[in-house]
Amino acid sequence: MTERQTRDYYDDFASTYETGRDRGYHALVDELEASTVIPFLAGKRVLEVGCGTGLVLERLAPHAAATVGVDLSPGMLALARKRGLDVHEGSATALPFEAASFDVVCSFKVLAHVPDIEAALREVERVLRPGGVGVLEFYNRHSLRYLARLAAGARSIGRAHREDDISTRWDTPRTIERALPGGLHLDRFVGVRIVTPAAALYRSPTLGRGLSRVERRVAEGPLAKFGGFLIAIVRKA
């Protein structure tokens, strides 16, 4: 898939992306993702790579000195700008920012769709200041989410696309660590969606509340490496 085709995919996805994301499973995922970044943000300048419509970046803004987003999709960025966010069009493999310009770089639900992951991670390293922190999310092959996706198959996205129209990579803790450039060092993993077998279970308020409590408890610890969304906390030397 070319970069233009990827842009078209996400421009189409922008038309439906936020449907239902203010509650249940999707809201929990956004909350847990944001909670991994917030402890690093006081007085810091943060960049979100692949900020989409700004749902996570908006959660981060009250905690940081400055928040900036970048995304390939003009359609997604138009919605982020309606939130009053500082966002820019650009690619994860060629970030439109100077070297060493951010204290924190985060990325969610994006890096799994970047075929040249090594180039994207080198860009994270480049724009981070020495001692800076990366909070980088991957899709995890060692997870219930991976098995659920295999069983469900590709779903419709936006008005004219399916999930399998875009490249998706499923990593493991080992392949993530191997992909890191020399200047980024892995601190730990945080897991999101560890015990949830199917997102549809959150349609039941009782089940949803119970699963949410468990997901919050196990996000860090021995089960973290089984998160469907596997977040690597890395530091730049």
b/e sequence 51-60, b meaning 16+ C-beta within 10 Å: bbbbbbbbbb
Mean pLDDT within 171-175: 97
Main-chain phi, psi angles of 233, to 5 degrees: -90, 115
If DSSP codes are grouped into helix, strand and coil, which group holds residue 183? coil
The model's pTM: 0.95
pLDDT surpassing 90 at residue 160: no
Return the minimum-mean-pLDDT range out of 6-20, 71-85, 133-147.
Answer: 6-20
The stretch 14-20 carries a mean pLDDT of 88
Number of domains the chain contains: 1
Q: Can you tell me the mean pLDDT for 194-202?
A: 95
Averaged pLDDT for residues 127-136: 98
| pLDDT number for residue 163 | 75
CA distances from 41 to 19, 34, 115, 188 (A): 28, 11, 29, 18
Confidence class for position 106, pLDDT limits 50, 70, 90? very high
Distance CA 47, CA 134 (A): 10
Question: H-type helices in the chain, by residue range?
Answer: 3-13, 24-37, 55-60, 74-82, 117-127, 144-152, 173-179, 205-218
pLDDT recorded at residue 11: 86
Range of the domain at 209: 3-236
pLDDT computed for residue 162 by the predictor: 81
The whole-number average pLDDT for the span 71-76 is 96
Strand partners, 231: 137, 190
Interval 100-116 mean pLDDT = 97
Q: Is the pLDDT of residue 101 over 90?
A: yes
| CATH number assigned to the domain comprising residue 169 | 3.40.50.150
pLDDT score for 97: 98
Nearest CA to 109 out of 187, 196, 221, 21 is that of 21
Name the residue among 143, 150, 152 with its Cα closest to residue 191.
143
Q: What share of the chain is helix, strand, coil (3-state, %, to 5)?
A: 45, 25, 35
Q: Is the pLDDT of residue 153 over 80?
A: no
Average pLDDT, stretch 192-205?
A: 95
Give the pLDDT mean for 25-41: 97
Average pLDDT value for residue range 115-135 = 97
Report residue 183 as tokens. Answer: 């200047």
Tell me the backbone φ, ψ of residue 167, rounded to 5 degrees. Answer: -65, 135
| pLDDT mean across residues, the chain | 94
CA-angle at 20, arms to 14 and 24, nearest 5°: 135
Residues 150-176 have a mean pLDDT of 84
Instruction: Report the pLDDT value the prediction gives residue 1, as an integer from 0 to 100.
Output: 67
pLDDT at 85: 98
**pLDDT reported for residue 156:** 77
- Rounded CA gap, 130 and 190, in Å? 22
